[in-house]
Amino acid sequence: MQVLHDITEDIRALAHRARHVAVLSGAGISAESGVPTFREVQAGLWERFSAEDLATAEAFACNPDLVWTWYRWRQALIQQVQPNPGHLSLAAWQRALNRRGGSVTIVTQNVDDLHERAGAEVLAHLHGSISAYRCVDCGEPHELPRPDYDGFQSPPEPDPTPPCEHCENGLLRPGVVWFGEMLPVEAFEAAAEAIRRADLVLVVGTSGIVQPAASLPLLALERGTPLVEVNPEETELSELMDYCVRGTSGQMLPALTSGLS
């Protein structure tokens, strides 16, 4: 493992040679756009709760309106921020390699759409999408208008959870993966296959704490594929990496992809 504080010629050479790149992104890249990470201090209505208290099926069953409003408020906040240079650099690299017959495959643990809004295609949202909804009973998907909260001002009171239009008793829930729930099998298998076929794997802005997503880089390790971490701090995955670049994705990814598009 080499710990670096800039993009070196060795890392640039890896990027220039790579034809099939897999990127695993986590909360850090979205935090740079202003999306609070899941474990940051809550405010207003939420200050009595940890995020984990609001992100379980048990919490929803106990107080659906509170959980529903927290996720709608978080979606509103996401709508008010913009993709940052890290997102934009990955999107540009993806387009450039696609033109040359290669690929940059993005797998994200984030439930937002910032990669897509930057112009990238995302293979897999491992933890679901905050803007997708389904019935907690019958599973029927639903589309809803955008929330009208100010995402930077906490709602004063919880709003009622909408009922399902397709069954009698169900309530709508966000289409995210709560603690204790299984990841979507198809998304995880697609992510694993992308990492197996990659000749370079980037791990960007993820702490490496949340399993089983954090196990995906092990697939590259087994094949001897170069692993590069971009994160300001040491993570649970750092010791597995060939290179650990200590900096934000907004700084380091533009430097890494410069000249590749």
Q: Which residue has the tokens 């299984």?
A: 182
To the question of whether residue 109 is assigned a binding role by annotation, the answer is: yes
138 annotated among ligand-binding-site residues: yes
Q: Is 63 labelled a binding residue?
A: no
Distance between CA atoms of residues 137 and 164, nearest Å: 9
> Is 231 marked within a binding site?
yes
Give dist(CA 88, CA 99) in Å, integer.
17
Residue 206 among known ligand-binding residues: yes
228 is in an annotated binding site: no
Tokens coding 257: 């992809």
- 197 annotated to a ligand binding site: no
Three-class SS state of 72: helix
111 appears as a binding residue in the annotation: yes
According to the annotation, is 207 in a ligand binding site? yes
89 annotated as ligand-binding: no
DSSP, collapsed to helix, strand or coil, labels residue 44 as helix
Confirm or deny that 232 is annotated as ligand binding: yes
Active site residue 127: yes
For the beta carbon of residue 81, count every other beta carbon within 10 angstroms: 17
From the list 89, 87, 70, the residue with the least C-alpha distance to 28 is: 87
Q: If DSSP states are collapsed to H, E and C, what string results for 150-173?
A: CCCCCCCCCCCCCECCCCCCCEEE
Q: What amino acid occupies position 64?
A: P
Is 112 annotated to bind ligand?
Answer: yes
The count of C-alpha atoms lying within 13 angstroms of the C-alpha of 102, restricted to the half-sphere facing its C-beta, is 20
244 annotated ligand-binding residue: no
Q: Which of 115, 125, 127, 166 is catalytic?
A: 127
For residues 225 and 210, the answer to whether their CB atoms sit within 8 Å is no
CA dihedral 46, 50, 56, 60 (to 10 degrees): -20
Residue numbering of the annotated binding site = 71, 74, 109-112, 135, 138, 164, 167, 205-207, 231-233, 249
Write out the catalytic residue numbers.
127
Residue list, annotated binding site for Zn(2+)? 135, 138, 164, 167
Annotated binding site for substrate: 71, 74
